[in-house]
Structure 1
Amino acid sequence: MTETRDAGTPARSAPGTVPADLARFTLCLGDDALVLGQRLCQWITRAPSIEEDLALSNIALDLIGHARVLLAWSGRLDGSGRSEDDLAFGRTEREFRNALLTELPNGDFAVTVARQLTYTHYAVLLYEALADCADPDLAAFAVRAAKEIGYHRLHADNWTLRLGLGTAESRRRMQAGLELVWPYTPELFDEDDVLRRLVAAGTVPSPRLLHPSWQERVGSVVARAGLSVPAPTWQASGGREGLHTEEFAPLIAEMQSVHRQFPGGTW
């Protein structure tokens, strides 16, 4: 994975933390960033304007930079010695642990905005909380990640307002985008056994405790845009266990195509 930014190189786990648990946690975060970055890359040359083409490209670059750090860290912590390239390009789709929200197809621009709105508010809250965690390397990385994703959040907020307060058609599409992505948001705050152990050890914050703040912040933006917070009748889950949407396999195949065509190649 070629990336020009250096987001740090964390390499150790906090005292009292099982390395395998932290490896799983950083893998999930890395997969979130990698998959969402790949989705946003699909907007390149297809965005509504040149300005948005550049904006989405830069957001994707930030996310891939985060993924590079987190996946490399996971490979060291789990004892496998796998690099970020090994984890990004050498796993099957069932081995990815990203939240389903991050892999949803881009849809029209309003769907992408809705996905960005819900994800970035979650990610900023998570990384802000991780900035105070017991692991010094993870805390240092979280400070930078929170700052960068804060700009992504501002971009999503502004577009939500522009579409919601624009024409009747843009408002309809923005509301439809929110309705589509909303059932996928609860998974961001789920806790499995690994995460519960990390929370109990004081290594990471409980994502469930972040949910009320997320609801308040996202709900405020939605209300200011003249839109309604959806009330879905179902919730998606399974991404953290490797159960993905039918659109995920083509995304991974596209991302891994060059690596698989030229194994071991460098450039």
Structure 2
Amino acid sequence: MSDDDHVYLSLAEEHGDDTRWAFGTGFTDPLHGVDTALPPGLDARELTALCLALADDALVSAQRLAEWCTRAPELEEEVALANIGLDLLGQARLLYARAGQAEGEGRDEDALAYFRDPADFRNVTLAELPNGDFAHCVVKLLLFSSWRLSQSQQLTGHLDPVLAAVARKGVSELTYHRDHAAQWVVRLGDGTEESARRMRAALAELWPYRAELYAAAPETRGEVESVLAQVLTAARLDAPADSPAQPGGGRDGQHSEHLTALLTELQSVARADPEATW
């Protein structure tokens, strides 16, 4: 086989750490020994906004992945998607906690996750889109994880030691997420006529949402485009042409109609009894 057939292996080898599963239930505390005091000179409002946006991306993506439970094409894949969702949920928890600390208004991770309305969320639109078929799932995961991995790599050098620590832990997890998605894109794109057709349809629908990702984190564009080109070449798929009108305004609170339904389900138990403790 050609090197392209193993593109996902070469992508994963860029990061030697094989830590893959369950950030939220993980075995080590990523903040152990980290000074959680806000560094002098750091703008607390900017840190709060950044942590909220990153947390919203992760939480909403995790909720969409949870919807694959009992619906994935095979049991092994159901477990894999659930664990990827757990990784993202764990990242969201730490980021919400840090946002609450930086904000200084007494809101904890639960308040930020469960008691904000859709217009207050700052996740990118890609994260909130309905799942569609399995081809849509893996294309969305490839786009999102490639972008979030590149962003996390940049954030490992952030002035805030907590955000930097969360990013460092996230890099190893997101490397696996990207690897897993790339394997499926190659398998389906270079598979049967029907699987290739579905992959082309998923790419056509989701490809335009890259523009919003790059608007939110311009420094990621070069790396992400290079990764996507490698994977699509191995999958024998062509990248769709970019359209002049690009969708998405999630960072400004301008969401699709899908986010309201997602948050209604996600937040229903907490809002039914706001004073409950667990």
Q: Structure 1 length as normaliser, TM-score?
A: 0.89
Residue equivalent to 1:197: none
Which of 203, 211, 218 is 2:228 aligned to? 218
**Count of residues paired in the alignment:** 250
CA distance in structure 1 between the partners assigned to 2:106 and 2:209 by the alignment: 32
CA distance in structure 1 between the partners assigned to 2:60 and 2:241 by the alignment: 26
Q: Which runs of 5+ in 1 are unaligned?
A: 192-206
Note the C-alpha offset of 1:7: 4.2
Residue equivalent to 2:10: none
Would you say the 8 A contact 1:12–1:77 is kept in 2? no
Residue equivalent to 2:238: 228
Q: Does 1:127 align with 2:127?
A: no
How large is the Cα RMSD of the aligned pairs? 1.5
The percent of aligned pairs where both chains have the same amino acid is 44
Residue equivalent to 1:117: 142
CA distance in structure 2 between the partners assigned to 1:59 and 1:103 by the alignment: 16
Q: Does 1:91 align with 2:154?
A: no
CA distance in structure 2 between the partners assigned to 1:216 and 1:15 by the alignment: 37
* Mapping of residues 7-86 of structure 1, within 5 Å: 7-8=30-31, 11-86=36-111
**C-alpha distance 40-7 of structure 1, shift in aligned 2 (>3 A):** farther
CA distance in structure 2 between the partners assigned to 1:15 and 1:96 by the alignment: 28
Q: Does 1:183 align with 2:194?
A: no
CA distance in structure 2 between the partners assigned to 1:106 and 1:248 by the alignment: 12
Note the C-alpha offset of 1:243: 1.0
Q: Structure 2 length as normaliser, TM-score?
A: 0.86
CA offsets, 1:213-258, max 9 Å, x none?
1101111101110001111312112101111111111100000111
Would you say the 8 A contact 1:8–1:69 is kept in 2? no
Q: Does 1:253 align with 2:267?
A: no
**Deviating runs (4+, > 4 A) in structure 1?**
none
Note the C-alpha offset of 1:46: 0.7
What is the identity, as a one-letter code, of the residue corresponding to 1:236? P
CA offsets, 1:10-33, max 9 Å, x none?
744444221011100010000000
CA distance in structure 1 between the partners assigned to 2:39 and 2:148 by the alignment: 21
Q: Which runs of 5+ in 2 are unaligned?
A: 1-23
Residue equivalent to 2:277: 266
What is the identity, as a one-letter code, of the residue corresponding to 1:24? A
Residue equivalent to 2:25: 4
CA distance in structure 1 between the partners assigned to 2:45 and 2:162 by the alignment: 16
CA offsets, 1:138-187, max 9 Å, x none?
22221110111111111100000010011011001111111111111111
Would you say the 8 A contact 1:7–1:66 is kept in 2? no
